[in-house]
A and B are shown apart, each in its own frame.
Chain A
Amino acid sequence: KAGVTQTPRYLIKTRGQQVTLSCSPISGHRSVSWYQQTPGQGLQFLFEYFSETQRNKGNFPGRFSGRQFSNSRSEMNVSTLELGDSALYLCASKEGPQETQYFGPGTRLLVL
């Protein structure tokens, strides 16, 4: 099976802009989670979607949002970008309630 794919892999934006990142889970996986990874804060959970519904949400401001489509693909959006949003954004998928999740390669976002 193909792994989790994320697009784009790299992105440069300026403060105040918005950005949309995309994630395609492993075929058959219905749960998609998003994480932000920075050197200072490590891996932080953003949100999880399952069957097009947000199941869990981490402690991030409302500028961070996401959605999941009927084919389980997911997007996350960050509006009004700040310098501190520069990070590696990781998507992970799993089949369902079980906890074994698999990560994609990430999208590296740089905000100037």
Chain B
Amino acid sequence: GENVEQHPSTLSVQEGDSAVIKCTYSDSASNYFPWYKQELGKGPQLIIDIRSNVGEKKDQRIAVTLNKTAKHFSLHITETQPEDSAVYFCAASSPIMDTGRRALTFGSGTRLQVQP
């Protein structure tokens, strides 16, 4: 099955700096890669996603890049703000053997702390 590794597990940056979180996946058939932000006491919230036919996607201060050859994808947050502090999860959608269906496998999460 798919295996998603996420680094770093914790990241502390100064307000205004950029933050980068990286994930690698194992299944070359994975074709959809969402990123979720989870604040304390809340469920994960989808912040951006990318499909395998695209190399980069941007939404204001957030961008995601995908390298299919190397099987890794990254989340970039520019001009970080204290409200960006949360746990971020990456995920990869891969086929489930012999079913024709797909499932999401999540990374272990990155705790981002933005220091004011």
Contacts and interface: CB of A to CB of B under 8 A. Distances in A.
Q: Do A and B bind each other?
A: yes
A42 B104 CA distance: 13
B44 A103 contact: yes
Nearest to B41: A105
Contacts of A55: 101
Interface of B: 32, 34, 36, 41-46, 49, 89, 93, 96, 99, 101-109
Given A6-B43, A106-B43, 14 more contacts: A4-B43, A45-B105, A56-B96, A56-B103, A90-B43, A90-B44, A99-B93, A99-B102, A99-B104, A100-B34, A101-B34, A101-B104, A103-B36, A103-B44
B42 A45 contact: no
B10 to A, nearest CB: 13
A11 interface: no
B106 A43 contact: yes
A106 B43 CA distance: 6
A105 B93 contact: no
- Name the interface size band of chain A: 10 to 19
Interface in A75-112: 90, 99-106
Interface in A4-31: 4, 6
Contacts, number: 45
Q: Which of A99, A100, A103 counts the most B-chain CB atoms under 10 A from its CB?
A: A99
A101 B49 CA distance: 11
B44 A99 contact: no
Nearest to A44: B106
12 contacts: A6-B43, A42-B89, A42-B107, A43-B89, A43-B109, A45-B105, A103-B43, A103-B45, A104-B43, A105-B42, A105-B43, A106-B42
Contact of B103 (A4, A42, A45): A45
Nearest to B44: A103
Contact of B46 (A100, A104, A105): A100
A6 B32 CA distance: 26
